[in-house]
Chains A and B, each alone.
Chain A
């Protein structure tokens, strides 16, 4: 069975600085997708960034980028120029590519605090 592990329950970063959130996963599949979701206090789940496993290039969305290390099964999220609005819970998620369900498997989350 696939698993997703986020080993940092909490992280803190100064405004305008850079922070990296860690995520590792375990799978025997070769075709899959990885995601980072943001959950602010409003509880809304917001997709931050996605990565297809077959793509070697790391995904980037504005200030958000990932470091995808397929062999190491690692998928970290880097947030550059951190802003107060980035404070939230961040979840890493996995989805297998070959199944019919498209269900997501989530990690336990990292709570990010941004200090002014």
Chain B
């Protein structure tokens, strides 16, 4: 039973390019959370999605960042026109429907984005 899968593990982009980060939740999980970890900091919540629906995007920057979780396929976090300040590790977590705290804890290994 595979865990939460994120790819790529490392992503290098030049300033102004687009970055696309993918997250495949655990089997049977239909809810996805994205977090960002800046250097020397803890993880910060970005967005919470269900299939085809954004539930809470209160942690997402207003510009250049978007997220989707289509009916089929992985969840995608998209960063347009990347800047050096976007360099961070981006983590995805998943949970089943109506999960309480007992179902949390399933994180992927993260994508390290480096902007040159």
Contacts and interface: CB of A to CB of B under 8 A. Distances in A.
B43 A50 contact: no
B2 interface: no
B69 interface: no
Contacts, number: 70
B48 A102 contact: yes
Contact of A107 (B40, B42, B99, B100): B42
Interface residues of B, number: 27
Chain B contact residues, majority secondary structure: strand
A101 B40 CA distance: 26
B23 to A, nearest CB: 13
Nearest to A6: B42
B42 A101 contact: no
Interface string B74-111: 00000000000000010101010001111011010110
Interface residues of A, number: 26
Interface of A: 4, 33, 35, 37, 42-47, 50, 52, 91, 93, 95, 97, 100-109
Interface of B: 31, 33, 35, 40-45, 48, 55-56, 59, 89, 91, 93, 95, 99-102, 104-105, 107, 109-110, 112
Given A43-B89, A95-B101, A102-B31, 17 more contacts: A33-B104, A35-B105, A37-B105, A43-B110, A43-B112, A47-B105, A91-B42, A97-B100, A97-B101, A102-B48, A102-B100, A102-B101, A103-B48, A103-B56, A104-B43, A104-B104, A106-B44
